[in-house]
Amino acid sequence: MSLCPSSNLLPPMKSLFTLLTTLYSVSVVSAQNATGLAPLKFRSLPLGKIMPAGWLKDQLTVQTNGLAGHQHEFYRYVSQTNWLGGNVTYSDLQEAAPYWFNGLVPNAVLANSDALKKQTSYFLDYVLSHQGTDGWLGPEVNTTLPRILWARYPFLYGAIQMVEVDPSLTDRVVTAAYKFVKLANTMIKNKQGLDDWTNSRWHDFLIPMQWLYDNHPNGNEALLLETMNLLKAAGYPWDKIFSDQYFPKGPVDHISNPLGYGLMWHGVNVAMALKSSAAAYRVSHSQTDLDNASAAWDRLFQYHGRPSGIFAADEYLAGLDAVRGTELCLVVEAMFSGSYLYQVIGNPKYADRVERITYNALFATITGNMWSRQYLQQQNQIASKNMSPNPFPNDGAYSNVFGLDPNYPCCTVNFPQGFPKFISNAFVTTPDGASLVQVYLGPFNTNANLQNGNNVQVTVDTQYPFSDTFKTTLTASKAFTYYVRIPSWVTKGTISVNSGTTQPLSPSNGLQAVKVASGTTQIVLNLPADIKTEQRPNGSIAVQRGPLHYAFDIPRNQTILAQNAQQPLAVDLQFGATASWQYAIDPSTLRFDAGKPPATLPSPIYDSGKPTPSISVTACLISWPIAGDTFVSSPPTSPACTGSKSTIKLIPYGATKLRISEFPVFKST
Ligand SMILES: *[C@@H]1O[C@H](CO)[C@@H](O)[C@H](O)[C@H]1NC(C)=O
Ligand SMILES: *[C@@H]1O[C@H](CO)[C@@H](O)[C@H](O)[C@H]1NC(C)=O
Ligand SMILES: *[C@@H]1O[C@H](CO)[C@@H](O)[C@H](O)[C@H]1NC(C)=O
Ligand SMILES: *[C@@H]1O[C@H](CO)[C@@H](O)[C@H](O)[C@H]1NC(C)=O
Ligand SMILES: *[C@@H]1O[C@H](CO)[C@@H](O)[C@H](O)[C@H]1NC(C)=O
Ligand SMILES: *[C@@H]1O[C@H](CO)[C@@H](O)[C@H](O)[C@H]1NC(C)=O
């Protein structure tokens, strides 16, 4: 069914038939009385207008030189010789190629790689020129394979991004998309193409349809609105699933499913569905939908959140225990959902969290050279190996190995979208097009055409999140107001414009406004933060400073478990601890050390010993048992020291591949 299949261990789902019969009785808002789409709070810029600079550019080069930029050459799910030769299974065609395309389009453009752009152009052309006469899109046209609507959505996302870069593709893509929407409309009315994945991921078709509505309505408004309403009505009622009454307040392994939707607690579905109520709001115009979207976000992170910014679901929602897993696919989907939520709702909490997920959870689960990725990452991860027993009730023994496609292949083809889409959503404009807003902080070169022919170029020079300082140079043809997001964790931040006096920040709704004259303006920002500790289960704590979460980097050795026959860099790696990690820490002794940053950060930055900032803390060894032979039990509460005190160093979580990051506490004095 899917490259990340559901497990049949979950409580039984209602039969699809029952589900559809029930849902079709829900009333559907008719297109006649709809009033169009509610406006966005912020508009995205076309792909390619925001380019990574400095270390972000280097990190994208690392991604491009790794698995993301090379898998089409050898990986069977996306190698063209395989899928064009028909030597693939149903699920490969259904979702692997569209997933890959969706991520490779922005990767190719932002890395300015002609070789990768050729791949995406070839794929787009192939799919469009082989569209079924009835409108079906996909490599599987004219096969007898069953049609599942949802796997077309990543293709549509990829095609839209290509149009943003090359408007000459507009007519071809928009025409093909409308043929497909018309077919989908009929299919939904005939109850076709609606498997459980389609029913749970309806918002990911609403968003491409909203792009058509906003940019190329061409007289199809009624068709789009009707199709959006039909799709939502046929789909999972996410507002109910996320509601206080039904939302699980702990791991779901041993609780029964109260609503009967079989994939409603599936981690990737939940990450994608974070944007469901915001997508629905654009059609309904109902404030309740926005309130529901906001409450769903908070509830998920309250009961399943991790100090790395993400939440835990090792297939299904997994609660707070530090050894339970977080799937890589859900990391990149939550990032994308958060960017969309920010653009619809404008609440800075979405942007704060997306930045934390990117700078911590994303790179923690991929090796420094980005050739090997995990399926599941753990906050406390003392080994990466074939684990038997393992702490994941619904995932396999190989889930936390760093490799080509441990446990399931989906994250290999889907992870590449995460980082490029973070970059392409890093700036937005206000809806009137008059102002530019920097949403995600880091080094960028951005070029925007604002209202009234105001061309603005922005260069942000910084090593953030490995430094607190920013030098932003703006060149504008006309005066305008520039905004920059000030994260909620900043304390005593300052700003100075054109070498003027240094002023305290005065953000409103998370944004600092700066009046910019025509010509060149220079802004210097300093965004310091205090060390914060986060309470975790059983009296343990996690350490944060600014956007970065800090962890003890367990020294490790490495064994190659497997190597791809065609691509020797694609290896499966086992990591084992080579030093003690059984530490309790004294939070009163935490001290931040910014280090001496080099002029250029090391490449790759997300690996042991590479980032400069660190936090020191007084620690002592304790008795902390392992479970099985491979994973650590919950942090002991109020443990006694078994050895003398020492000072240990914590480094950014994303650079650690084995780690302790939820510590028991003790008092050193
Ligand atoms: C649109 O019509 C439907 C069905 O008659 C009704 O339930 C809904 O409240 C109407 N919505 C608006 C915004 O008028
Ligand atoms: C077809 O797939 C099988 C299984 O993955 C593989 O062994 C074989 O080499 C493939 N054949 C071609 C022509 O790609
Ligand atoms: C599918 O089959 C029909 C009927 O044989 C044919 O006209 C059409 O070109 C085929 N489409 C593709 C994409 O092969
Ligand atoms: C918000 O969610 C609640 C369920 O918690 C639901 O009753 C309500 O209808 C939702 N609001 C909208 C506009 O869908
Ligand atoms: C707290 O510790 C107990 C005993 O070790 C353990 O069973 C439980 O899972 C822990 N709770 C969490 C949320 O980690
Ligand atoms: C890794 O280190 C551990 C602990 O010293 C040792 O037991 C193990 O044999 C080592 N593995 C390799 C592959 O070196």
Q: Does the structure show a pLDDT above 50 at 52? A: yes
Please say if the pLDDT value at position 308 is more than 90: yes
The answer to whether residue 565 sits within a structural domain is yes
The mean pLDDT of 616-629, rounded to a whole number, is 94
CA of 281 from ligand 4 middle (Å) equals: 11
pLDDT at 406 over 50: yes
Ligand 5 touching residue 538 (CB < 6 A) = yes
Mean pLDDT value of segment 80-102: 77
Q: Ligand 1: which atom is nearest the Cα of residue 33?
A: 1
- Residue at which a domain ends, from 235, 250, 277: 235
Look at ligand 5, atom 13, and give the residue with the nearest C-alpha. 321
pLDDT at 628: 78
Ligand 6 centroid to residue 630 C-alpha, Å: 13
Domain boundary among 201, 220, 235: 235
CA dihedral 278, 279, 284, 287 (to 10 degrees): 10
Q: What is the pLDDT of residues 473-502, one digit of tens each?
A: 999 999 999 999 999 999 999 999 999 999
- pLDDT greater than 60 at residue 132: yes
pLDDT of residue 470: 98
Q: Whose CA is nearest to atom 6 of ligand 5?
A: 634
pLDDT digits (tens, 9 = 90+) for 435-445: 999 999 999 99
Residue 119 in any domain: the answer is: yes
SS3 54: helix
Residue nearest to atom 14 of ligand 1 (CA): 33
Whether 88 is covered by a domain: the verdict is yes
Q: Read off the tokens for 436.
A: 């530019």
Span from the CA of 133 to the centroid of ligand 3 (angstroms): 7
pLDDT for position 89: 67
Q: Which of 447, 363, 284, 382 is nearest to 580 (CA)?
A: 382
Where helices occur in 190-327 by DSSP H, the ranges are: 196-200, 203-215, 221-234, 238-241, 267-273, 276-284, 287-304
Measured by CA distance, the residue closest to atom 7 of ligand 5 is: 634
Give the DSSP letter string of 124-145.
HHHHHHT--TTS--STTTTS-P
Helices 287-304 and 328-345, interaxial angle, to 10°?
150
Alpha carbon of 57 to those of 37, 412, 494, 523: distances in Å? 36, 21, 26, 22
By most ligand atoms within 8 Å of CB, the mutation choice from 578, 582, 629 for ligand 6 is 578
- Cα of 240 from ligand 4 centre, angstroms: 6
Number of Cβ atoms within 10 Å of the Cβ of 397? 16
Task: Identify the nearest ligand to the CA of 535 by its number.
Answer: 5
- The finding on whether 292 has its CB within 6 A of some atom of ligand 4 is yes
**Angle between the 203-215 and 276-284 helix axes, to the nearest 10 degrees?**
40
Q: Ligand 5 in contact with 537 (CB < 6 A)?
A: yes
> What is the model's pLDDT at position 426?
99
Asked whether residue 645 is assigned to any structural domain, the reply reads: yes
* Ligand 2, atom 1, residue with closest C-alpha: 87
pLDDT of residue 21: 32
Q: How many angstroms separate the alpha carbon of residue 445 from the centre of ligand 1?
A: 46
* Least confident among 82-91, 348-357, 633-642: 82-91
Residue where one domain finishes, among candidates 181, 205, 235: 235
Residue 11 has pLDDT above 50, yes or no: no
Question: pLDDT > 70: what percent of the chain?
Answer: 93
Peptide bond into 528 cis (omega under 30): no
CA 6 to chain centre: 20
User: Does 294 reside within a domain?
Assistant: no
| Interval 550-587: pLDDT, tens | 999 999 999 999 999 999 999 999 999 999 999 999 99
Kindly list the protein residues whose Cβ atom lies closer than 6 A to any atom of ligand 2: 76, 81-82, 85, 87
Domain carrying residue 215: 75-235
Is it the case that residue 26 has pLDDT exceeding 50? no
CA 666 – ligand 3 centroid, Å? 71
Q: What CA–CA distance (Å, rounded) separates 177 from 180?
A: 5
- Which pLDDT score, from 0 to 100, does residue 32 have? 40
Q: How many domains does the chain have?
A: 2
Q: Which residues contact 617 (CB under 8 A, 6 or more apart)?
A: 543, 585, 586, 587, 589, 590, 591, 647, 648, 650
Indicate if the pLDDT at residue 509 is higher than 80: yes
Instruction: Give the model's pLDDT for residue 190.
Output: 97
Residue nearest to atom 5 of ligand 2 (CA): 76
Find the mean pLDDT for residues 97-118: 97
pLDDT, residue 139, reads 80
Q: How far apart are CA 574 and CA 122, in angstroms?
A: 37
Buried b (16+ CB within 10 A) or exposed e, 398-416: bbbbbbbbbbbbbbbbbbb
Q: Is 130 in the pocket of ligand 3 (CB under 6 A)?
A: yes
Whether residue 546 lies inside any domain: the answer is: yes
Q: Looking at the domain assignment, is residue 302 inside a domain?
A: no
Tell me the whole-structure pTM to 2 decimals. Answer: 0.93
**pLDDT score of 93 more than 90:** no
Residue 274: pLDDT above 60?
yes
Assign 92 a pLDDT band (cuts: 50, 70, 90). Answer: low
d(CA 538, CA 638): 9
Q: Confidence band (pLDDT; 50, 70, 90) for 79?
A: confident
Averaged pLDDT, 409-429: 97
Closest approach atom of ligand 5 to CA 319 = 13
Ligand 3 site, residue 141, Cβ cutoff 6 A = yes
Q: Return the CA Rg of the chain.
A: 24
**Percent of the chain whose pLDDT exceeds 90:** 89
- The pLDDT value given to residue 357: 99
The answer to whether residues 603 and 466 touch, using CB atoms and an 8 Å cutoff, is no
Looking at every residue in the chain, the average pLDDT score rounds to 93
Q: Is residue 231 part of a domain?
A: yes
The answer for residues whose C-beta is within 8 angstroms of residue 302's C-beta and 6 or more apart is: none
Which amino acids bring their CB within 6 angstroms of ligand 1? 27, 29-30, 33
CA of 413 to the centre of ligand 3 (A): 28
432: helix, strand or coil: coil
Would you give the distance in Å from CA 293 to the centre of its chain?
A: 17
pLDDT given at position 86: 64
The band of 14, judged by pLDDT with boundaries at 50, 70 and 90, is: very low
Enumerate residues lining ligand 6, CB below 6 A: 557, 559, 576, 578
pLDDT tens digits, one per residue of 443-466: 999 999 999 999 999 999 999 999
Distance from the first to the final alpha carbon of the chain: 58
At 191-240, the pLDDT tens digits run 999 999 999 999 999 999 999 999 999 999 999 999 999 999 999 999 99
Ligand 6 center–CA 323 separation, angstroms? 22
CA distance 291 to 307: 25
Of 89-103, 149-163, 562-576, 617-631, the range with the lowest mean pLDDT is 89-103
276: pLDDT strictly greater than 50? yes
Which atom of ligand 1 is the closest one to the Cα of 285? 13
Residue 344 Cα to ligand 1 midpoint, Å, equals 23
Q: Which ligand is nearest to the CA of 323?
A: 5
Helix (H) or strand (E) holding 467: none
CA distance 290 to 38: 11
Residue 621 pLDDT greater than 80, yes or no: yes
pLDDT of residue 425: 98
